[in-house]
Structure 1
Amino acid sequence: MNEPVRPAPAPRRRRAAKTASAADTPAAETGRTNDPEATMADILDVATREFAAKGLAGARIDEIAAATRTSKRMIYYYFGSKEGLYVAVLEEAYRRIRHIETDMHLEDLEPETALRRLVAFTCDYQRSNPDFIRLVMNENMHHGEFLAQSRLIQQLNVPAINLLRSVYERGVREGVFRCGIDPIDLHMSISALSVFNVSNRHTFSLIFKHDFDDPAAIEARRDSIVEMIVRFVRA
């Protein structure tokens, strides 16, 4: 039977739930310890794996509840619906990578060094977080329908482009990068090369009889991607 479809809650509703008193929450009715932050983090962690593995259609709230220290009712209390939980999972996934990017202090590095570090980080992060790749691929199958519902995700991605734009424009001013490259296009190229390593490694390994999970192969591929991007932007 299909999960009940209910409207996704607005961000204001989810924030309000975090500060609700113990007497107002389903946890109080069932005798659970009321810790909204820990409960929501637990739900998001399990739901991330569930949605990444099965997609929005295949994931089940019952299974997510069973794998957490909460209940189906509380999941709906915090997130409103299955779709609301899915949007929250997307928001958390993007928040994590963007938070790390903005904390890299690339402005303290020479432009080429900064670009190399950013590209290497992207490769390593995508490789270490395959669930993020699966979530993005799944959302593309929905034509970005649920991502479009989140203002937070759109706000999170602005600093990512601004970060790359700042590195690139510094390089242009210093004469080490060539003019005429769109930072969004450059970001797309970095993402495409990094994502492919994760999304297609199993088929490539089988077709070409090559172990792309070997640590040496992973390092060589990352270095190759870094070098491709740097040579592309060099003056």
Structure 2
Amino acid sequence: MSSTPTPIAEERLRDADRSQNTILNAARDEFAEHGLGGARMDRIAERSGLNKRLIYYYFEDKEKLFQAVLEQVYHHIREEERKLNLQHLKPATALRRLVEFTWNYYLEHPEFLTLLNSANLHRARHLQQSERARQLNSPLIAMLSDVVERGRAEGTFRSGIDPLQLYVSIAGLSYFYLSNNHTLSAIFGRDLMTPKAHSERLSHMCDVILGYVLTS
């Protein structure tokens, strides 16, 4: 007996995928706007245009839905990083490209930062319970390890660079600036979100990261 799905079964699978993606996108916006504590399943159902019972059918409860949203956003940023093809670039160029990408991605996806803020507020327990999240993020460090090792081997990068620490620094330089731009702008009396300020920040980050890894 053939195990190949029938056309009707395939269409049902596509409908299920579309429904789950619609729910996840609506939930992403709801969690980004209100946080985990303030998010409401009724509003997610309204945003998605789907029955609330269907949301519970696919995701069980709000906690599981939040975990699925975190997995979705991590999947998206890791997929976009993969498209950079850093393994085919010279190490210094690859590292600069990653810094530029991280900065621009955070700028274009502010919901990513607010979701991370919410996840950290809950001590990342949703990510700790997610094997998929760990699987999604492991290739990034492997990719950066390759860049670092190639740079060391050709003599342009110094030795002793921890790829994980390096990525945390890259992400942190963007994350702190953008997450705290309102307080920083108010305290120092300078608008840190103008195009000129963005350009200056990116240039500074590239100088800091490359200045740390390059031998000269």
Q: Same fold (TM over 0.5)?
A: yes
CA distance in 1, matches of 2:203, 2:142: 24
Aligned match for 2:174, one of 170, 186, 194:
194
The residue type paired with residue 119 of structure 2 is E
Deviation at 1:84, TM superposition (A): 1.1
Where do residues 160-179 of structure 1 align in structure 2 (5 Å cutoff)?
A: 160-179=140-159
CA distance in 1, matches of 2:95, 2:37: 38
**Do structure 1's residue 205 and structure 2's residue 205 form an aligned pair?**
no
In the alignment, is the contact (CA less than 8 A) between 1:127 and 1:197 conserved in 2? no
**Do structure 1's residue 155 and structure 2's residue 135 form an aligned pair?**
yes
SS in 1 for 2:48: coil
**Do structure 1's residue 225 and structure 2's residue 205 form an aligned pair?**
yes
Aligned match for 2:78, one of 98, 119, 123:
98
Q: For residues 65-120 of structure 1, give each alpha carbon's deviation from its aligned partner in whole angstroms, at most 9, with x where no partner exists.
A: 01112011010011111111101100001000000111211122111011000111
CA RMSD of aligned residues (A): 1.7
Aligned match for 1:87, one of 64, 67, 71:
67
Higher helix share: 2
**Do structure 1's residue 117 and structure 2's residue 130 form an aligned pair?**
no
The residue type paired with residue 88 of structure 2 is D
The residue type paired with residue 143 of structure 1 is R
The residue type paired with residue 183 of structure 1 is P
Which residue of structure 2 aligns with residue 62 of structure 1? Answer: 42
Which residue of structure 2 aligns with residue 47 of structure 1? Answer: 27
SS in 2 for 1:87: helix
The residue type paired with residue 105 of structure 2 is Y
CA distance in 2, matches of 1:110, 1:128: 26
SS in 1 for 2:125: coil
Aligned match for 1:140, one of 120, 124, 127:
120
Q: For residues 135-184 of structure 1, give each alpha carbon's deviation from its aligned partner in whole angstroms, at most 9, with x where no partner exists.
A: 11111111111111111110011011111111111000010010111111
In the alignment, is the contact (CA less than 8 A) between 1:39 and 1:69 conserved in 2? no
Q: Deviating runs (4+, > 2 A) in structure 1?
A: 19-22
How many correspondences in the alignment?
A: 207
Percent identity (aligned) = 44
The residue type paired with residue 87 of structure 1 is Q
Deviation at 1:21, TM superposition (A): 7.9
Comparing 48-57 with 88-97, greater Cα deviation is found at: 48-57
The residue type paired with residue 120 of structure 1 is E
In the alignment, is the contact (CA less than 8 A) between 1:107 and 1:114 conserved in 2? yes
Normalised by the length of structure 1, the TM-score is 0.84
Which residue of structure 2 aligns with residue 35 of structure 1? Answer: 15
The residue type paired with residue 51 of structure 1 is F
CA distance in 2, matches of 1:21, 1:82: 27
In structure 2, the gaps of 5 or more residues are 1-8
Deviation at 1:20, TM superposition (A): 8.9
In the alignment, is the contact (CA less than 8 A) between 1:120 and 1:223 conserved in 2? no
Deviation at 1:38, TM superposition (A): 2.0
Deviation at 1:200, TM superposition (A): 0.5
